[in-house]
Amino acid sequence: MLRQRVTALLALIVLLSGCGGGGGGSGQTASTQTTTTTGTTCSLRDRQDWAFAQLREWYLFPETLPASLDPTPYATVEDYIDALTATARAQGRDRFFTFLTSIAQENAFNNSGSTAGLGVRLSTDLAARRVFIMEAFEGAPALAAGIDRGTEILAIGTSAGDLKPVSEILAAGGAQALNDAIGPSNAGLTRLLRVRDAGGTRDLLVTKANFDLQPVSPRYGAEVIADHGKKIGYINLRSFILNANQPLRDAFASFRAQGVTEFVIDMRYNGGGLISVAELFGDLLGGNRASSDLFDSLTFRPEKAANNTSHFFTRQPESAAPTRIAFITTAATASASELMVNAMLPYFRANEALIGANTFGKPVGQIAVDQSACDDRFRIIAFALQNAAHQGDYFAGLASRMDVACQAGDDIAHPMGDPQEASTRAALDYLGGASCTPITAGGGITAQGQREEPRELLMPDRPSVQQRNLPGSY
């Protein structure tokens, strides 16, 4: 979400986006952005010193930072940042949410979803050593080759001569080995994939390419579903990027024209994005909210309180007036997506439900400090997020904060938004008045300690800009 304002010499751009790292877990980030010209060179030591200085100035948890830390033993700026934030990470308050990224790559993604790759989300079942396609993006190579949700990848190689079974790749090196086999997201890079779906097993040569993400799928992203004698507005948002604004407006104009008042908001893989987009989304769901009703507030540490800001619902021409909302979520749902759920909760309570699995748990956001000469954008956890009831401490996910949280599977045998798909069905049943099985306290872990959903989105140790915002994307 993006909000701009000027305080003295500082221009702040607020973002909530996905991130991950240190073992491949998905996570999320919120940020504000300043352009900085400190440092005379882009040497490793200068960049490390610059990063430490920015943390000392902005970090939300300054008491967790070491008074000093020699950067010499750390081979990269990223490794040094991880060491500096290790205490907050151990406390569960900064799970690799503070990170270094590329200015150019992030701007390209946040503005238009510009990225490169196969154009899919991948999930792994590590116990069974299997890999599945959770989603395929329009305009990207995989979907053009006939690969879509529910397809299993059986083997990966560069040619028939080195095609290697996925089971062997995972057995040898786990998720990171699979990430390495898929290779970097460079346009022009080719991979031979042996896949299996309802049409059988076949080998496909797929070349990675540049494409612009469509944040609302033209195939299933926005539709009206007839269920329980009612019209239900279904919308699936992949990421909170700027080019989501118009599709969201178009969807809600249609919902409003058809008199829709009950909604299924599907954010099961949404790792976050721009705050301005989340606030617009809230406004579109705020047709029955007063202009004095708070959507969200961002609170910095005391000495940075001049940067605190709040957004109140602002009715749009397309705004609908919901009576009930079902949010579909998973452990990949984070940051801006969680903000949406939390922001609506004080106004809906039992008329709002979490459907699927517990969310990731990121009630904090980042600023972005730029060192343009080095193409360094440093995203630093710098503020906390709260709703109108001053609720925001959901580091363990949102399920325990909800009046209604219904357990449901992620059914890759059906498209998202299909009334027969398990999470969509559970959301529709909730809106129809049915009772449900609550999401467990462990957030997807059974009493026997097993995952309720064996599949987990694939994430590398050092995710790209694309992967922080689109968990599992390759």
Report the first-to-last Cα separation within the chain, whole angstroms.
23
Beta bridge partners of 441: none
Based on DSSP, count helices (H) and strands (E) in the chain, helices before strands: 11, 26
What DSSP string runs through 320-371?
---SEEEEEE-TT--THHHHHHHHHHHHHGGGEEEEES------EEEEEEEE
Which residue would you say has higher pLDDT here, 19 or 187? 187
Instruction: For residue range 288-303, list pLDDT tens digits in order.
Output: 999 999 999 999 999 9
Q: Which helix (H) or strand (E) holds 193?
A: strand 190-197
Residue 160 phi, psi (nearest 5):
-60, -25
Beta bridge partners of 202: 195
- Kindly report the number of other CB atoms within 10 A of residue 64's CB atom: 17
Q: Which helix (H) or strand (E) holds 293?
A: none
What DSSP string runs through 59-113?
-S-GGGS-S----TT-SSHHHHHHHHTHHHHHTTS-SS-SEEEEHHHHHHHHHH-
What is the pLDDT confidence band of residue 402, given thresholds at 50, 70 and 90?
very high
What is the pLDDT confidence band of residue 92, given thresholds at 50, 70 and 90?
very high
In angstroms, the CA 425 to CA 443 distance is 20
The pTM (predicted TM-score) of the whole model is: 0.91
In this structure, are residues 277 and 244 in contact, taking their beta carbons and an 8 Å threshold? Answer: yes
CA 45 to chain centre: 32
Lowest mean pLDDT among 15-29, 41-55, 381-395, 451-465: 15-29
pLDDT at 466: 83
Structural domains of the chain, ranges and CATH numbers in brackets: 116-212 (2.30.42.10), 222-297+306-361+389-451 (3.90.226.10)
Instruction: For residue range 228-264, list pLDDT tens digits in order.
Output: 999 999 999 999 999 999 999 999 999 999 999 999 9
Residue 54 phi, psi (nearest 5):
-70, -40
Lowest mean pLDDT among 39-53, 150-164, 344-358: 39-53
pLDDT at 447: 37
Overall average pLDDT of the 101-129 stretch? 91
Report the phi/psi class of residue 103: left, alpha or beta, with left for phi > 0 and alpha for psi in -120 to 50.
Answer: alpha
Is the predicted pLDDT of residue 445 greater than 60, yes or no?
Answer: no
Instruction: For residue range 12-63, list pLDDT tens digits in order.
Output: 444 554 444 333 233 333 334 444 545 568 999 999 999 999 999 999 999 9
Per the listing, tokens 């003295």 go with: 8
Q: Which residues contact 234 (CB under 8 A, 6 or more apart)?
A: 222, 223, 224, 225, 263, 264, 266, 417, 424
Specify the amino acid at residue 168. Answer: E
Specify the amino acid at residue 285. Answer: L
pLDDT at 130: 97
In angstroms, the CA 31 to CA 328 distance is 25
Q: Which helix (H) or strand (E) holds 114?
A: strand 114-117
In angstroms, the CA 75 to CA 96 distance is 18
> Coil, helix or strand for 285?
coil
Residue 143 phi, psi (nearest 5):
-65, -40
Instruction: Write down the mean pLDDT value for the chain.
Output: 90
Beta bridge partners of 222: 235
In angstroms, the CA 442 to CA 440 distance is 5
What is the pLDDT confidence band of residue 417, given thresholds at 50, 70 and 90?
very high
pLDDT at 442: 54
Burial class (CB in 10 A: 0-12, 13-18, 19+), 92: exposed
User: How big is the CA angle at 61 (ends 45 and 6), to the nearest 5 degrees?
Assistant: 80
Q: Which helix (H) or strand (E) holds 417?
A: none
In angstroms, the CA 213 to CA 241 distance is 9
Lowest mean pLDDT among 96-100, 113-117, 329-333: 113-117
Q: Which residues contact 63 (CB under 8 A, 6 or more apart)?
A: none
Specify the amino acid at residue 49. Answer: D
In angstroms, the CA 271 to CA 338 distance is 9
- Kindly report the number of other CB atoms within 10 A of residue 91's CB atom: 12
